[in-house]
Chains A and B, each alone.
Chain A
Amino acid sequence: MRFGEYGGRYAPEILIGPLRELEESYATFREDSDAQADLTALLTRYAGRETPLYSCRNLGRETGVEICLKREDLLHGGAHKINNTLGQALLAKRSGKERLIAETGAGQHGVATAMAGAVLGLSVEVFMGAVDMERQALNVARMELLGATVTPVSSGSATLSDAVDEALRNWAATAETSHYLIGSCVGPDPFPTLVRDFQSVIGGELYHQSFALEGRLPDAAVACVGGGSNAIGTFFPLIDTPIRLIGAEAGGRSLNPGDHGASLSCGTQGVLHGAFTSVLQDAEGRISPTHSISAGLDYPGVGPEHAHLRDIGRAEYVMVSDAEAISAFRLLSKKEGIIPALESAHAVAAALRLAEEMDPGSLIAVTLSGRGDKDLGTVIGGCS
């Protein structure tokens, strides 16, 4: 499966069998009404869907543009990640797997995987960079409390990209009994499709809620992009509408290599973690270090479907700096009483910028991918 020229299955031979098996079991899962009903029940009664579409009472009002928030931050666990982990964990269980492997950066995906494993009775091992484990000690404790084993990864920069490497290595040895529950719309085919489909509940609800509550579709939909799962989940159901689709990438501290995570705005074509996509790398294909104040956007690649949407001009991708994200984090907290995740604050900042240039009366929908409790240390404590 390719998205234009992007995607593909650039995986070692040892993973080709497991990836084919996954493709087949997913095709069955999609057509299985029992499985779909089970997933819907979990999403509704366990995770708390549907999430509200909230029209901001104060934010952006001075511009005359209305800003709506798709409140994924209100889901169980505090982030959109659970949409994907429940879907994949249920698929794994129905395929006879006993164990889930996951990578995590900030820990949100690890926590969401641990929750899905706990509720479905699957054992969970989460690979996490040693540096990230130190930065996100609370999430490590949450995962362990939820019954998961958290394994530190010390290779490379000991962060998200290295954790993905280690999860892939572990899967190569354990695929017979284990499912690799990848956390974003990245990785070898069929992962980008799988994750997109499970996250598309966001855009699907947004479409109907916008009609029901506002009597119209938004003029623009904005979401943050690290790997890009909440963004593709927002965009995909809206692709055949006239809505402008805008992804906010991590502009970081500066546009110097190593200072940001803007894979779509600054990357070049290459293969990372099994997919041909837009990658931050040097001229010889060595992957660059990245930086973002938000761990969830601190990744040198991006989902291949985003690279395709960029190339065909269907979606636009903009950069939001660390400083702009922090301002938006504080502003949304003060104006609406909602503390967003720093990742989501990038989308809020991009929406505020957009509001300045749009006609009064326009409607912008922002996917608030997660809540910001986890980021208080970074913003208030001033550490990153």
Chain B
Amino acid sequence: MSRIDEAFHQRETPLLIACTVAGDPTPDASLEVILSMIRSGADMIELIIPNTNPVADGPVISRAHERAIRGGIGIPGIFSLIRALRRESNIPIFLMTYANPVIVHGEAVFLSDAAAAGADGIIIVDMPPEEGGVLISQEEIDPIFIIAPSTPPDRREMIGGIGRGFLYLVSAPGVTGTRQHLPDDLPDRVLEVKQSTMLPVAVGFGIGSAETAYEAAAAGADAVIAGSVISGAIERNPDDPALFVGDAVREIRSGIVRHRSSRSAGQ
């Protein structure tokens, strides 16, 4: 059982997946940021590989990509960061990357190196299953796939059958970024996805507050993913990002806790 499977297996409340761009704002500060996320209640870490053309990301995470590139982290630096985290923690870690760095590095080598460094899973955001032969056939690291609002039912089933670890359900059309509220149809969509897969379902895009975390948890998500709120905290507090990232993670956590309390109160 992978660390990701185990975390979902043992969960009592929806998991909190905290997400940051690796090396934002610098490689050293990034390690502190991630340790702070773990101390503040993150159950799983999504580590984004900085990219020059982050087409699926909104402005906040796009600027985080730019900061991390300026901060000088490279692919070896990212693998070192994961190894440094592994010395401190057994928390599940998955990578989120665009296809190009993986392809340029050599797909099989990249996946193998990532697994060896201690990563448990990988999302290659612009590598749909049709382009992901190598990704799907290897056994070293969980390939995590995305389900979008525009994904039709037959395709949802196909993806639900080949992904491992969990499915990443995008809450609303568009790119990453925080929202006031998640769409009203989210509970129905979570249910539809759960009916087409054996995998846990994590909800991401738009979650940056206790309120939206609560909405995602109440919609039936097995995990809640928060990213832009963390990149935003780093951007606003370049001198001590770890401290403010901790606050952001605790805020999201409080929304998940509120969901659990309201459920127990209702029982």
Contact = CB atoms under 8 A, between A and B. Distances in A.
Interface of A: 8-18, 155-156, 161, 165, 168-169, 172-176, 268-274, 276, 279, 281, 283-287
B170 to A, nearest CB: 6
Contacts of A9: 128, 130-131
Given A10-B126, A12-B125, A175-B150, A271 B103 contact: yes
B145 to A, nearest CB: 7
Contacts of B131: 8-10
Contacts of B66: 155-156
Contacts of A18: 150
Interface of B: 51-59, 62-63, 66, 69, 74-75, 98-105, 125-128, 130-131, 145-152, 155, 159, 170, 173-175
Contacts of B147: 13
Contacts of B63: 155
Q: Is the interface of A mostly helix, strand, loop or mixed?
A: mixed
Nearest to B101: A285
A216 to B, nearest CB: 44
Given A155-B62, A173-B174, A284-B101, A12 B55 contact: yes
Contacts of A279: 100
Nearest to B59: A155
Nearest to B69: A286
Contacts, number: 114
B100 A16 contact: no
B100 A173 contact: no
B128 A16 contact: yes
Contacts of A174: 173
Q: Which 8 A-B pairs have the closest CB atoms?
A: A17-B150, A173-B174, A285-B104, A14-B148, A285-B101, A13-B146, A285-B100, A287-B52
Contacts of B103: 269-271, 276, 285
B96 to A, nearest CB: 11
A17 B153 CA distance: 11
B52 A169 contact: no
B101 A14 contact: no
Given A173-B175, A276-B103, A284-B104, A14 B150 contact: yes
Given A17-B150, A173-B174, A173-B175, A284 B126 contact: no
20 contacts: A9-B131, A12-B56, A13-B125, A13-B146, A16-B148, A17-B155, A18-B150, A155-B59, A155-B66, A169-B175, A268-B104, A270-B100, A271-B98, A279-B100, A281-B100, A283-B104, A284-B75, A285-B101, A286-B52, A287-B52
B101 A168 contact: no
